[in-house]
Amino acid sequence: MDITDDKLLKIALVTSLIGLIGLILFTPSIEVKEVKIEDVTRSMIDEEVSIDCVVSEVKSSRSGSSYFLTINDGTGQITLIIFESQVAQMQTNNLEIEDFKDKKVNVVGTVTEYNGEMEIVLSSGDSLKIIE
């Protein structure tokens, strides 16, 4: 049996389609884990988590491009880091970081550690939402 360029192209196309369909069918949806601040530990570093909390304090970095929010959910408090790119994304949606102070919010971010303290880094500009 001769394998021509035409047959090879058809085999590659069919194999690619089967692979794409398999990825769509068998890839589980990614769900963000909802946690309480007291449950955030070093074992969760690099995990994406969701926390319902209140923003108790808003501070900007020395350069003014990043922000550090202290969030509290009644079980503890932790620092939320918002980098310049997320601030810019929020500002394009007409949101100012200071508007979140003393508001109940939902935060989606990645657990990190800095100087021995656990922190949350905001995933995107859309990952901080007022819920009340």
Report residue 1's pLDDT band, with 50, 70 and 90 as the boundaries: low
At 21, is the secondary structure helix, strand, or coil?
helix
For residue 46, give the nearest of 61, 65, 33 by alpha carbon: 33
Work out the average pLDDT over 86-114: 89
Residues 131 and 105: beta-carbon distance below 8 Å: yes
Work out the average pLDDT over 106-110: 94
Structure tokens at 131: 């819920």
User: Has residue 29 got a pLDDT over 80?
Assistant: no
The superfamily in CATH containing domain 33-130 is Nucleic acid-binding proteins (2.40.50.140)
Q: Structural domain boundaries of the chain?
A: 33-130
State if pTM tops 0.85: no
CA dist., res. 84 & res. 97, Å (int): 11
Buried b (16+ CB within 10 A) or exposed e, 76-113: ebbbbbbeeebbebbeeeebebeebeeeebebbbbbee
Question: What are the CA-CA distances from residue 40 to residues 2, 45, 50 (Å)?
Answer: 61, 9, 11
